Amino acid sequence: MDITRRAVTPGLLAILAGAASPSRADTPAWRVPDDAAIAKILADRIDVQKQGVGLVVGVIDAAGRRIITHGALAKDDPRPLGGDTLFEIGSMTKVFTGLLLADMARRGEVKLDDPAAKYLPDGVHVPERDGRQITLVDLATQTSGLPRMPTNFAPKDPLNPFADYTVDQLYPFLGGYVLTRDIGSKYEYSNVGMGLLGHVLARRAGTDYETLVRRRITGPLGMTDTAITLTPDQKARMATGHTEDHQPTPAWDLPTLAGAGALRSTADDLLVFLAAELGFAPSPLKPAMDAQLAVRRSASPMMDVALAWHILKTPAGEIVWHNGGTGGFRTFFGFDPKAKVGVVVLANLSNLIGADDIGFHLLTGRPLAVLKPPGPARRAITLPADQLAGLAGRYRFATGAAVLTVTLRDGRLFAELSGQAAYEIYPESRDEFFYKVVDAQLSFARGADGRATSVTLHQNGHDQAAGRIEP
């Protein structure tokens, strides 16, 4: 696993493209499995592979909708899951942001090629390059040239990393960032870019992001359980998120970059959304949904990008999809527009295989993920608090803008790479630490005062050095 989690892993793309399995042309009669077969997949993932706490799958096709579940609301709460259980859907929120853009463009409120700066306060500078400004469509297609995360992202709480990132930090980041490539020239997944898009659309509408989503999307569609701010009843139905080592973890809050990943939802609600996408239910949003699906840019030879939706080219045809991941959840939804089949997969455990492979398997018949055997056994030792304290800080890698933030909390060290979940790291010696959630290790180098000056990440046979930065 690469700690810098991508939208989809190269190995998964190879499988989906047919490189690791027979062409779907060899199995032309593929259909989404029945409930019993899906239930077996979920039980195997949780009970046998021990790679889940709870899973909810929703399927929609011409025959109707169905929900299949396995597992529990939380590690210590055996209540069963259902179609009305709420999950953090993370970056699946970006699809809603893209639909807002398509809808507002159809209404004439914005134009796709409007500069993002047009809807920001006077004096706020958005990066330009060679006289070209970042437009709304650049943001929606992940081709703005902005990095994955803002370079001034320094969360106080690694378990809720976006909570304290403010507009007063976003604007200076924009004003000071220098683009490293031409705008529109290359796909590069950017949370700050999609968060900025949600921010400017809300400003244009004269409201906040959550209200705009409710007025324009979830209200008209009747998606009553898709929101950021939850009612007491919804909180009672909210699944608990878990880290990869099955430990409960707090929910994430994204007040400034809401458009990148702040929504919570249910399988029932997301099937309502897919019903409108597939034309099974009439909706005033259908013209905007169709406009949203138009291919705008190429992400790779195997994948195009629309307004937030990714369109994967498989041997069987196109699959429209997006996934999501937060500190405690992994999610997926997608559909086959030709076969008119949609799938939702929601998991309350944030791990490597997550929900993507199940979703693509149900849609295309591709193999499920094969788990990598664990690395060599490692034994954690106990270090004094003063030795741990010297390692806390921020470290920037020599290549790119990625920053590793190491935080000391209650005698335990957590390491968080820009925009990702914080994972605990365990000492093998004074300066050597390892992850339990992934086969990766960290080596710290200290100065004469005992304070670390750099750290090296060892993973997948590569060593990547990062130097301490201030503050």
pLDDT band at 410 (very low <50, low <70, confident <90, very high): confident
* Per-residue burial over 68-106, b = 16 or more CB atoms within 10 Å of its CB, e = otherwise: bbbbbbbbeeeeebebbbbbbbbbbbbbbbbbbbbbbbe
SS3 401: coil
Strand 128-129 versus strand 303-305 pairing type? unpaired
Same domain? 396 vs 358: no
Same domain? 455 vs 312: no
pLDDT recorded at residue 29: 57
Neighbouring residues of 92: CB distance < 8 A, sequence distance ≥ 6: 261, 263, 265, 270, 322, 323, 324, 331, 332, 333
**Is 304 within the bounds of a domain?**
yes
**Is 454 within the bounds of a domain?**
yes
pLDDT recorded at residue 367: 86
Q: How far apart are CA 346 and CA 265, in angstroms?
A: 10
pLDDT recorded at residue 5: 38
Q: What is the mean pLDDT of the chain?
A: 89
Same domain? 440 vs 299: no
pLDDT in tens, 27-45: 455 799 999 999 999 999 9
pLDDT in tens, 223-244: 999 999 999 999 999 999 998 8
More confident residue, 398 or 349: 349
Same domain? 274 vs 344: yes
CATH number, domain containing residue 322: 3.40.710.10
pLDDT in tens, 69-86: 999 999 999 999 999 999
Q: List the single range of 203-207, 246-250, 414-418 with lowest mean pLDDT.
A: 414-418
**Is 4 within the bounds of a domain?**
no
pLDDT recorded at residue 375: 59
pLDDT recorded at residue 9: 38
Same domain? 423 vs 306: no
**Is 151 within the bounds of a domain?**
yes
Share above pLDDT 90 across residues of the chain, in percent, rounded to a whole number: 73
The number of domains in the chain is 2
pLDDT recorded at residue 373: 53
Same domain? 357 vs 404: no
At residue 126, φ and ψ (nearest 5 deg) are: -105, 135
Comparing CA positions, the residue from 337, 313, 309 lying closest to residue 323 is 309
pLDDT recorded at residue 371: 61
Same domain? 347 vs 457: no
Same domain? 362 vs 389: no
Q: Are 302 and 126 in contact (CB under 8 A)?
A: no
Q: Residue 422's domain spans which residues?
A: 385-469
